[in-house]
Chain A
Amino acid sequence: MSDTSKRTVAFRGGGFAPKPQAWIGVMVFVVLILVAEWGTRAGWISALTLPKPSDVLETFRQLYSSGLLFQHLGPSLARLAVGATLGVSIGISVGVLIGLFSYIRSGLVPVIAAIFPIPKIALLPLFVIWFGIGEGSKYALIAFGTFTPTVVATYGAVDNVDRTLIRMGQSFGLSWWSIVRKIILPGALPGILSGLRISLSIAIILLVAAEMLGAQYGIGAYILEAGSLYDLERLFAGVVILSLLGVVVSAVISFIERRMLGWRS
């Protein structure tokens, strides 16, 4: 064997395993903004195409120092909170019922399938007639929009709870209510939370839509006003606020996941 040639075996097992790289995400944002800044300053991006990022920042600063920021943000956050809470809590309840009872499932799944694809914005005039031009119609729109994705995510999550755990509960003589409370709900929580990510993003989209109709204050009203004046700096400042709102919501859900789903391997 000693005279035969030796070679190391070539490694071919790498790749196909994306790992999270901290800071790369932030870097991409920074680079995009710097390119926009450079382009608008140098002139190869015209002022009509894109506002200068530094101007947007300045607008944002003025918005903050004049106190207008919170005058717009306050009502928006209240609408988001009330509407999303309504929609999500009703959605989770209905989703669990669909997951547990055959008749409710057979009765409601087609209804949910029928209302899911309706663009809820199209129903805004209807909500205005039903709930008035005030806050009621805005709550209703956001609630309705978050309801359907929450229902679908919840009953999917309940369906995916490990059946052997439910069998185990039955075999130890646990009551129906104990099985639901101690096995099904915690088991469905991961699915419900990932559904929440989608429904809360939809809530932000609908918030803006609702505020574009008959709201004096609110991020949506602010953006609508800026847009109709072609004030791109203010338009972008509003859009940045929405993006940040989305990032914050996603971070809050991640935090809840880390706290409540630490048991996942």
Chain B
Amino acid sequence: MDIRLEGIGHSYDDFEVMRDITLDIPNQQIICIVGPSGCGKSTLLRFIGGLERPQRGQVLQVGDAPKDCLNPLTYIFQDFALLPWRTVKGNISLVLEDHGIRSAAAREIIDDVLARTRLTDFAKALPKQLSGGMKQRVAIARALAVKPAVMLMDEPLSALDSQTRELLMDDLVNLWSRQPFTAVYVTHNLAEAVRLGHKVVVLSRRPGQIREIVEIDKPLSERAFGDADLDAYQKRLWNLMRDEARAADEELLHV
């Protein structure tokens, strides 16, 4: 299943935040979206998953989602969005209950996703007992439980410290290598973008438009921390973004 964005544009009142974004999200690729703050990258992600409606253009789903897929477009949020009153297990079963998956069938799925995210020992823990990195792994496990066709990741590592971020990037690469998934990954961190993205989409500042799409050919599993090739890509991206980022930073907020 592919996702196609056609001429997406959006304004709040008479304030244009996004203009004419056309983009293909092909199957089994990770597309990273980077851009200066306030360029509407998170809004774009909410359009893709149907949590908000763009004023212009449309989001198209090309082809059908796999049959066993419970929730084709599944988000991973920056602030984890775990229910604090449910255990790790309970948080995952939450998204299965509505599909009528209970008891044994649910346990099988939960055990599987917990094993894949190395959380098996923490099934009964409450979110308040977990570190930020663990919480995000629970959120990833929860997303995997509904077998998504496309993962929509909204700055999933931005609330974590840099060491945890490295560890989780390795986890994501491992997950993808074992079973490739499609993802749209929004971030302001260029290191994450060059590490995880098959393509990096650079948005301009307001109104957000696609400035450039940088393809990174190196296979995900061969990319590593401090990789010279990736550094070159990162520098190129930063050169594209520097002036935009500065201008965006100096802009007055319209609230």
User: Is B79 in the interface zone, CB < 8 Å from A?
Assistant: yes
A167 and B84 CA atoms in complex are apart in Å by 15
Tell me which of B84, B86, B146 contacts A172 (CB under 8 A): B146
Residues of B contacting A170 in the complex (Cβ-Cβ under 8 angstroms): 51
Number of interface residues of B (CB under 8 A): 23
Which residues of B (220-252) have their CB < 8 Å from a CB of A? Answer: none
Listed residue (A167, A171, A186) with the most chain B CB atoms within 10 angstroms of its CB? A171
Residues of A contacting B94 in the complex (Cβ-Cβ under 8 angstroms): 172, 174, 182
* CB atoms of A164 and B85 under 8 A apart: no
Tell me which of B74, B77, B84 contacts A263 (CB under 8 A): B84
Residues of B contacting A165 in the complex (Cβ-Cβ under 8 angstroms): 81, 83
The B contact surface, by secondary structure, is loop
Distance between B82 CB and nearest chain A CB, rounded to angstroms: 8
A183 and B146 CA atoms in complex are apart in Å by 19
Q: Mark A157-182, 1 if CB is under 8 A from B, else 0.
A: 00000001101101111110010001
Which residues of A (63-122) have their CB < 8 Å from a CB of B? Answer: none
* CB atoms of A167 and B51 under 8 A apart: yes
User: Is A2 in the interface zone, CB < 8 Å from B?
Assistant: no
* CB atoms of B98 and A174 under 8 A apart: yes
Q: Mark B80-94, 1 if CB is under 8 A from A, else 0.
A: 010111100000001
Tell me which of A171, A183, A264 contacts B83 (CB under 8 A): A183
Other 7 A-B pairs with CB < 8 A, given A164-B77, A170-B51: A167-B51, A171-B51, A172-B94, A178-B97, A182-B97, A187-B85, A263-B86
Residues of A within 8 A of B (CB): 164-165, 167-168, 170-175, 178, 182-183, 186-187, 261-265
A-B contact pairs, 17 of them (CB 8 A): A164-B79, A164-B81, A167-B51, A168-B77, A168-B81, A172-B95, A175-B98, A178-B97, A178-B98, A182-B83, A182-B97, A261-B85, A263-B84, A263-B126, A263-B127, A263-B128, A265-B128
